[in-house]
Amino acid sequence: MIVSTTHCARIGQTIALLYAFIAILYTTNYLLASPLRACFSLLFNLPTSTTLPNSSPQVSPLFWDTKASRPSESSWPADIDNDLVLSKAFSSSMHPSKIVPFFYRASGELDAEDITITTLITSNRFPVFARLVERYQGPISVAIHVNNNSSEYYSLLDSIHTLYTSTPNMARFVDVHLVMDSFDRQFNTWRNIARLFARTDFVMMLDIDFAICTDFRSAMRANRSIMDELRKGNSAFVIPAFEFVKPDEGNHQVAFPTDKNSLLSAVKAGHLDMFHASWEVGHNSTDYPRYYAAPPGEVYKVTKYQAAYEPYIVFKKDGPPWCDERFVGYGGNKAACLFELYLSGISYYVLSDHFIVHQNHLYEEKVRKDERKFNKKIYNDFKEETCLRYFKHYHDLGILNSTRGYNIQQECTKLKGFPQIAQQALDLREHLDIGMSTGQRWFDVDG
């Protein structure tokens, strides 16, 4: 014991001495050597060590490499606060908000190439959701808003639990993500949450009120050319939407048609019509006459897109733009998602063997009317802004005149004054000589 302590003390002393010695060397170099070198170089016009051109890193006691090699991936920081990341991921949504991904997580096996239905539900739509789960028999990712400033907070959590445990298929297929805050109808945020946490490569953006009538999922997965297009990420597939002309008939899902022939007879008999026939622009780009006449297996391209089009689509989860979260409430929100997808160069294709049918329910008419006015203004600005952003980006990439750039040329020229604004922006850049080839006219500005 005694021997080893004195031994240690001696080692300690040696270390202390060594340290003092090194410290003196450091200080001398710092206080004397460096300034001296600097003075000499000034006097004799010698380059100082730090200004030597192309020199290898100077080995100086004051400068040293933090690491000899770059940090390996395993040493990258792994633990980043989830709430922080999510608040950044949804930074254009309203705050404060708490997102709880996988509040319930499905136990069933997933195939990466499957199609997950992404949707949103409020408590009054739970029964409809249960029917969707039974019908689809595939992966579903659902965002549920929980107003945490409400006396019903706990009873809502209870009813979500009751819903989730009501059938084995819930636990097998459904992932539930909660959004807890006091903001109602942040539809685009909720859509993005459902998509972000979907666990397959492809998603379908669906509103909960629709009944799935045909098995588009198996049909798409079995069709190699459709799957190839999905993987490339430049195509979205439309499942046409219908509704009953008499609202009461839309309450009995068991009586809905499940194949195209019965659909066609119901349409011919005047029972069914395109969804929202009174707001034609929402769906008529699907071209219903062509859909009715299409032979089995036909997949046709949407050629008459316009900015109010809001079909229900299957597309690639990762890659295409996300829904703009500044739209809160009714009006424009879904159309904005589809507009940006379209501008980014995604083409819409209609699956002419398949369809979904709306199940009637009461709307909050007064709220809808007020919010629509509000969002109409936001949507008009959004269109212009999105056109400018993609126009500039695709111009710089040199793909404005390609298949991907075609949608921008088609759609943005419809905006009042857009060609002039865009051309001015380009002319200015040309003038500043920042890598522009000269003389390109993208638009017929006078026309």
Ligand X SMILES: *[C@@H]1O[C@H](CO)[C@@H](O)[C@H](O)[C@H]1NC(C)=O
| Residues making contact with ligand X (CB under 6 A) | 96-98, 148-149, 180-182, 223, 225-226, 280-281, 284-285, 287, 297, 299, 304, 401, 440, 442
Q: What token pair was written down for 191? A: 């859509």
The answer to whether 213 and 132 are in contact (CB under 8 A) is no
Burial string for 233-243 (b: 16+ CB within 10 Å, else e) reads bbbbbbbbbbb
Q: At closest approach, how far in Å is the CB of 366 from ligand X?
A: 19
CA nearest 200: which of 318, 116, 74, 268? 116
Q: At closest approach, how far in Å is the CB of 386 from ligand X?
A: 21
Q: At closest approach, how far in Å is the CB of 440 from ligand X?
A: 5
Decide whether 56 or 261 has the Cβ nearer to ligand X: 261
Decide whether 107 or 149 has the Cβ nearer to ligand X: 149
Please report how the helices 418-431 and 365-397 are oriented relative to each other, as an axis angle in degrees rounded to 10: 30
- Beta-strand pair 140-147/115-121: parallel
Decide whether 58 or 155 has the Cβ nearer to ligand X: 155
Phi/psi for 112 (5° steps) reads -55, -30
Q: At closest approach, how far in Å is the CB of 252 from ligand X?
A: 30
Decide whether 172 or 290 has the Cβ nearer to ligand X: 290
The answer to whether 302 and 287 are in contact (CB under 8 A) is yes
Decide whether 98 or 372 has the Cβ nearer to ligand X: 98
> What totals of helices (H) and strands (E) does the chain contain, helices first?
15, 13
Q: At closest approach, how far in Å is the CB of 232 from ligand X?
A: 12
Question: Distance from first CA to last CA of the chain, Å, rounded?
Answer: 99
Q: At closest approach, how far in Å is the CB of 41 from ligand X?
A: 56
CA nearest 205: which of 262, 127, 120, 264? 120
Decide whether 34 or 148 has the Cβ nearer to ligand X: 148
The span from the CA of 266 to the CA of 258, in Å, is 11
Decide whether 181 or 207 has the Cβ nearer to ligand X: 181
Q: At closest approach, how far in Å is the CB of 175 from ligand X?
A: 21
Residues in CB range of 165: below 8 A, 6 or more apart: 171
